Amino acid sequence: MQKMIQKYFALFALPTLIAFTLAFVVPFIMGIYLSFTQFTTVNDATWVGLDNYIKAFADKDFLNALWFTARFTIVSVVSINVFAFLIALLLTKKVLGTNVFRTIFFMPNLIGGIVLGYIWQLIFNGILYKFDVTLTNDPAFGFWGLVILMNWQLIGYMMIIYIAGIQNVPKEQLEAAKIDGATNGVILRKIILPLVMPSITICLFLSISNSFKLFDQNLALTAGAPSKQTAMLALDIFNTFYGKAGFEGVGQAKAVMFFLMVGIIVIVQLAITRRKEIEN
Amino acid sequence: MKKLNRVLSILLVMSLVFIAACSNNAGKNEPGTDTNQGNDGAKSNETIYFLNFKPEIAEAYKKIAKDYEAETGVKVKVETAASGTYETTLKSEIAKSEAPTIFQINGPVGYAAWKDYTLDLKDTKLYSYLSDQSLAVTEGEGVYGIPYVVEGYGIIYNNAIMEKYFALGTKATAVSSMEEVNNFDTLKSVVEDMQANADALGIKGVFSSTSLGAGEQWRWQTHLANIPLFYEFNDMQGFDNATSAGLSANEIKFTYGNNFKNIFDLYINNSTVKPTLLGSKTVADSMAEFALGQSAMVQNGNWAWNQINEVSGNTVKSEDIKFLPIYTGVTGEEKQGLAVGTENYFAINSKVSESKQQASIAFLEWLFTSETGKAAVTNDLGFIAPFNTFEDNEKPADPLAKEILAWMEKDTTSVAWTFAAFPSEDFKNDFGDALLQYAQGNETWDKVSSVVVDSWKSEKAK
């Protein structure tokens, strides 16, 4: 059987490979090429060299979006993972109705981002109306609105991963620690945390990349209002690409830089947290 | 083992056939095009792809497409871009192998962006039917965009509420009919007195909410902004008209900025909602408020008739719907009329096959000359079409369009749509964002003025 699979490896891989090439590799390479050109539609482009990259960096909105995204990512990654981990700890204890709670916490993740954005917009505006303001009043509202939305959506998902990790911690070790007189805090720090490191790696990776490339929630919740101050990178790229005639190439250049940034950040994060993982 | 092999090879063949079938489909239409080349344009089985700009009349176009197919056998595919996404949709649609054959550009600035895709329409009958050929988008000898609708906007008011106000015992102004409201000062005193008597009049506010949500700002950053800039362009010497003066202006001074502030303040301070809540309001909200009789006035154009008419439970009678020009306090504005113009121009895609182009032109000519087509334009689309093929009795009957025609007859000067000269979408959005910040009390008016001036300059320089 093993031999068979080896023999027909190409056959099995082919459909996926074709799909991957058509839907990812080709557009990706085209995208990099287009970032060095000026174009209106993707089939006719003229080469302009690094011009687009220079324009992108001269764009105040882009730098503002970068800074906003960075702040947002830091706050939401920390809060999502702390809450998800705490809830996971709670729901791995023998509490009544654990499974029901797990399901409920996971559910927000099943709703599409654009819908979430509009629903939360209604909720936030409903509350803010009481104070005669709306989300667009202050960029801080949009910022914290996005943080809350993102937490609500992702905590359940991360929680599931943490639960899987925590359940993998051997009972014998926990019992041994207890008999040795370790407090709950010590058990958490010295045994549980090191052993769930693989889950932490995955969760950090997912929450960093998801926060960084957030788009639909951002578009639906604030669309950058007021004055593009709450526009994140993906939304800024979209606005550049479609908002200004002749700036498609600049949008493309921003997108390439965006890809590189997300790529570098998550690779660094993976390298760091992987090193902390230990054999179970 | 052997059996498995056979199954695998069958699977492989099947997947190859599938892939081949898929790729074949895409290319199939091209050879078909060539065989049709010799046929008469109207009779060919070409598909016309019409990318519609106006979501509010999407259904009407679908019906027209069906009628045309029934009459001539030519299939017309109508797609409509969602509100505010026309450029986005066009950009992706036109790159496809089945590209739109008819699309729309929004004047000289839109033409500059789509230059490479617009066919010269100088020799078409459609162009010759234009009652005013100077309305078309031209460059050199060529004609690249044909306007198909004349529209107007101003302040729409509910005459029933106005009559109620004029009959009010507690009224503080001496104004007793809308005839007397012909400048900003009168309008302001009437509006402020009405707002003070809002409860007695049964309204929440005089003006519908000033929609400043994302994508809902066009009534202010485009239409209202047109008024002060029209006067500014008009003051420039040595141009044929205000629009061409605007097109050549690399910088503006926003001389009439305070006039804009006048009317904008009036809108936001005498409204159904508090100014700080405007960031979440939409155009549909404000039209609904007007239709339900919660407000007496709203700034919009004649295209808004459907939005008023179709709100369920609307209380406004069609004979009570009237237009008032947007007065801002410019000297001599008693002679100012509504803002009348067009920003919708048909363009034919120059990159599709010759026969498709001819079929598309034939469709447009049919739409504006045949009995069926003209009836649809007048009754379903509600267009005031700028073509001489329309008789007087073929003009639209909805109250707003009628009002536009009536104002054009009056002894007033219409304000031209000079926003065709605005440098870019970004300029408008910067303007709109600044207005929102101003309405919310986060920015001063001076800041708004400087945003307008700076953004114009930097967008022109790009």
Residues within 8 A of B (CB atoms), A 171-210 only: none
pTM: 0.78
Asked if B213's CB is within 8 angstroms of A245's CB, the reply is no
Asked if A44's CB is within 8 angstroms of B425's CB, the reply is no
pLDDT in tens, B394-407: 888 788 888 888 88
Please give, rounded to a whole number of angstroms, the shortest distance from the CA of B24 to a CA of chain A.
Answer: 16
On the question of pLDDT at B225 being above 50, the answer is yes
Within 8 A of B15 by CB-CB distance, chain A residues are: 14-15
Cα–Cα distance measured from residue B189 to residue B173, given in angstroms and rounded to the nearest whole number: 7
pLDDT in tens, A87-130: 999 888 877 888 888 888 888 888 888 999 999 999 999 999 88
Half-sphere exposure of A66 (CA within 13 A, CB side): 15
A132, A243, A244 ranked by CB distance to B274: nearest: A132
On the question of pLDDT at B32 being above 50, the answer is no
B87, B425, B436 ranked by CB distance to A226: nearest: B436
Token pair belonging to B323: 């237009």
A130 touching chain B per CB within 8 A: no
Q: B246: closest CA among B236, B233, B228?
A: B233
Q: How sure is the predictor about B30, in pLDDT bands with cuts at 50, 70 and 90?
A: very low
Report the amino acid identity of residue B216: E
Closest chain B residue by Cα to residue A226? B433
Mutation target to probe the A interface, by most A beta carbons within 10 A, among B111, B280, B447 is B280
Asked if B434's CB is within 8 angstroms of A227's CB, the reply is yes
On the question of pLDDT at B29 being above 60, the answer is no
Q: Which residue has the tokens 């004055």?
A: A227
pLDDT in tens, B91-114: 888 888 889 999 999 888 888 888
On the question of pLDDT at B20 being above 60, the answer is no
Closest chain A residue by Cα to residue B440? A137
**What pLDDT, on a 0 to 100 scale, did the predictor assign at position A9?**
83
Within 8 A of A60 by CB-CB distance, chain B residues are: none
Percent of chain B with pLDDT over 90: 36
**What pLDDT, on a 0 to 100 scale, did the predictor assign at position A236?**
92
**What pLDDT, on a 0 to 100 scale, did the predictor assign at position B2?**
58
Q: What's the average model confidence in pLDDT over A238-257?
A: 86
Cα–Cα distance measured from residue B122 to residue B348, given in angstroms and rounded to the nearest whole number: 12
Mutation target to probe the B interface, by most B beta carbons within 10 A, among A137, A239, A250 is A137
Token pair belonging to B370: 């045949």
Within 8 A of B425 by CB-CB distance, chain A residues are: 243-244
Token pair belonging to B242: 């205000």
Q: How sure is the predictor about A7, in pLDDT bands with cuts at 50, 70 and 90?
A: confident
Percent of chain A with pLDDT over 90: 44
Tell me the DSSP string of B126-185. HHHHBS-GGGSEEETTEEEEEE--BEEEEEEEEHHHHHHHHT-TT--S---SGGG--SHH
Do the interacting molecules here have an ipTM over 0.85?
no
> Which H or E run contains B188?
helix B184-196
Check residue A51 and give left, alpha or beta (phi > 0: left; psi -120 to 50: alpha).
Answer: alpha
Report the amino acid identity of residue B120: D
pLDDT in tens, A50-91: 889 998 888 888 999 999 999 999 999 999 999 999 999 988
On the question of pLDDT at A37 being above 80, the answer is yes
Asked if B280's CB is within 8 angstroms of A121's CB, the reply is yes
Mutation target to probe the A interface, by most A beta carbons within 10 A, among B8, B15, B105, B276 is B276
Closest chain A residue by Cα to residue B84? A243
Q: B127: closest CA among B370, B376, B388, B343?
A: B388
On the question of pLDDT at B198 being above 80, the answer is yes
Residues within 8 A of A (CB atoms), B 245-284 only: 274, 276-280
**What pLDDT, on a 0 to 100 scale, did the predictor assign at position B33?**
39
On the question of pLDDT at B38 being above 50, the answer is no
Q: A196: closest CA among A219, A214, A169?
A: A169
> Which H or E run contains B336?
strand B336-341
Per-residue burial over B276-307, b if 16 or more Cβ lie within 10 Å, else e, is bbbbbbbbebbbbbbbbbbbbbbbbbbbbbbb
Within 8 A of B107 by CB-CB distance, chain A residues are: none
Helices (H) and strands (E) in chain B, counts: 19, 12
Residue B408: strand, helix, or coil = helix
Cα–Cα distance measured from residue A266 to residue B28, given in angstroms and rounded to the nearest whole number: 45
Cα–Cα distance measured from residue A66 to residue A257, given in angstroms and rounded to the nearest whole number: 11
Q: What's the average model confidence in pLDDT over A31-37?
A: 91
**What pLDDT, on a 0 to 100 scale, did the predictor assign at position B17?**
56
Closest chain A residue by Cα to residue B87? A242
